[in-house]
Structure 1
Amino acid sequence: MLTLSRLRPVVRNAWGPDTCDPIDLADWRPENPSRGQCGVTALVVHDLLGGELVLGEVFEGGVRRGYHYWNRLPDGTEVDLTRDQFRPGETVTGGVDVVRPAGSPNRCRGQYELLRHRVRSGLHRDEGAPLPTPAGPPVRIAVVLLVDPTGAVLLQLRDRHARAEPGQWGLVGGHVEAGEDHEQAARRELAEETGLVVDAEFQLIWQDMRPDLAEGTSGVDVRAYVARCDVVPSDAIVIGEGQAAEFVKLSEVTKLDLTPTAAAVLSRLLTRTG
């Protein structure tokens, strides 16, 4: 039987900048891992334990700063695994039951699916049960964080029907083809998806082996490169994939529904710039 005492540490270990709501991404720190995790966490707890979703408001200095989700279990017990994220002066008020839409959420879909996968995998490991064996070798993915002279970063709005993270804003990139390395693939994907050819150094800034939630392979080897470019006129970008691609000020990226990978990469820049 699944208990809260067993679930709590598994959920906590599953949190990261890639499961954080982008709105709170600039405030996420390893020492406060529950920051920005309330929405996706409440959904995963609801998946596992049922009950109701509860929504409250967050105030700071008498001003509403946002919203906070937690759970009410079938026996009436209220469970809030992310309440310790709040700083002194931040208070949560109210608490009304809300109806959960069917399926994955429209916003932070990638974060929810990633957290759900990590939690379920963690529970399997705790039970000593063998995890399902994915088929096929790891998928190799290369993405590029292109930065213009003002510090704005190039982001791509993914197609609404993409198999992974549909409708979220991510980094330009894609599969590494046979005979390519990750950097070559990043350059090719940038040209194919935006029409931009950048004659600049591509520096590896982030890499991770991530679960493949779309195709069921043994994992995804993702490597992200940063490159700087000259000023790019808005009409120079030619969309070859996705719904849109545009340069976004770093101070504005947290207003977008970022993919988990984009959030993980951008969190490093946000931490450096405060």
Structure 2
Amino acid sequence: MSFPRLAALAVTLQGDRVLLVRRRNPPDAGLWGYPGGHVEAGETALDAAARELAEETGVIAKPLAYLDNVDVIERGADGALRFHFLLAAVLCDYVSGQPVAGDDALDAAWVPVGEVLSGALPQSASVAAILRRAMAQDAERARSRR
């Protein structure tokens, strides 16, 4: 397997809530994070974010823009590389659907933004930082539409 592997995260806001899933599989099994997964050959990370969102939660959204890139690197006790993912966080505009956990998720829910930002929820690294970027970009988009 070659590294790093590219994956996309769908960051979807709805009012004062954000869509999160509780991960079933490593890395971060049991923690809350953004729906997402591998980018397929020939697919953009924008398209992968929307596809993975639908597959993992049943929610449909339109990918709008890249928010950030996050490296997730894990090494074994011997220092050998176990995995390296480059996650492309994508801001998505909610279209339809209610979250239902797919096979890669234990749970899926609209979570109050304050709960994420306060750290009250057991969550993957960078979830709150990415949420802050998403909220800022969403607010900027709202201002430019006026």
**1:264 paired residue number:** 129
For residues 187 and 201 of structure 1, do their structure 2 counterparts lie closer, same or farther at Cα, with a shift above 3 Å needed? closer
- 2:99 paired with 1:237: yes
Higher helix share: 1
SS in 2 for 1:265: helix
Find the partner of 1:197 among 48, 60, 69. 60
- Contact 2:99 2:110 (8 Å CA) reproduced: no
Q: In 2 relative to 1, CA 212–188 (structure 1 residues): closer, same or farther, beyond 3 Å?
A: farther
Equivalent positions of 1:87-236 (< 5 A) are: 136-148=2-14, 150-159=15-24, 162-198=25-61, 200-212=62-74, 216-217=82-83, 219-229=84-94, 236=98
* Residues 147, 229 of structure 1: 8 Å contact kept: yes
Q: Per-residue deviation at 1:213?
A: 5.0
Distance verdict in 2 for CA 1:201–1:175, change over 3 Å:
closer
The Cα offsets for residues 36-75 of structure 1, whole Å up to 9 and x where unpaired, read as xxxxxxxxxxxxxxxxxxxxxxxxxxxxxxxxxxxxxxxx
1: CA distance between counterparts of 2:85 and 2:123? Answer: 18
Paired with 1:269 and 1:204, the residues of 2 have a C-alpha distance of 9
RMSD: 2.7
Cα offset for 1:201? 4.1
Q: What CA deviation, in whole Å up to 9, does each residue of 1:70-97 have, x standing for no partner? A: xxxxxxxxxxxxxxxxxxxxxxxxxxxx
Letter in 2 for 1:147: L
Q: Which has the larger radius of gyration?
A: 1
Native 8 Å contact 1:212 1:220 kept in 2: no
Q: Secondary structure at the match of 2:122?
A: coil
- 1:117 matched to which residue of 2? none
CA contact (8 A) 1:164 1:213 kept: no
Cα distance between partner residues in 1 of 2:48 and 2:89: 11
Instruction: Answer yes or no: is the 8 Å Cα contact 2:4–2:86 preserved in 1.
Output: yes
Q: Which has the higher contact order (CA 8 A, sep 6+)?
A: 2
User: Quick one: distance in 2 between partners of 1:204 and 1:146?
Assistant: 12
Could you tell me how far 1:169 is from its partner in structure 2? 0.4
Post-superposition offset of 1:216? 1.9
- The 1:185–1:231 alpha-carbon spacing in structure 2 relative to 1, beyond 3 Å, is closer
Post-superposition shift, 1:191? Answer: 0.8
CA contact (8 A) 1:208 1:221 kept: yes
How many residues align? The count is: 131
Match of 1:248 in 2: 111
1:260 counterpart SS class? coil
Whichever residue aligns with residue 9 of structure 2, its letter is V
**Could you list the runs of 5+ residues in structure 1 that have no partner in the other structure?**
1-134
Unaligned runs of 5+ residues in structure 2 are 140-146
The amino acid that maps onto 2:22 is L
Q: Per-residue deviation at 1:228? A: 2.5
Deviation at 1:246, TM superposition (A): 0.6
Give deviations 1:198-217, integer Å, cap 9, x for gaps.
2x342111113332459724
Flag the 1:263–1:181 CA change in 2: closer, same or farther, 3 A: same
Aligned residues with identical type, % of pairs: 30
Q: What is the CA-CA distance between 1:238 and the residue it aligns to?
A: 2.8
TM superposition score normalised by structure 1? 0.43
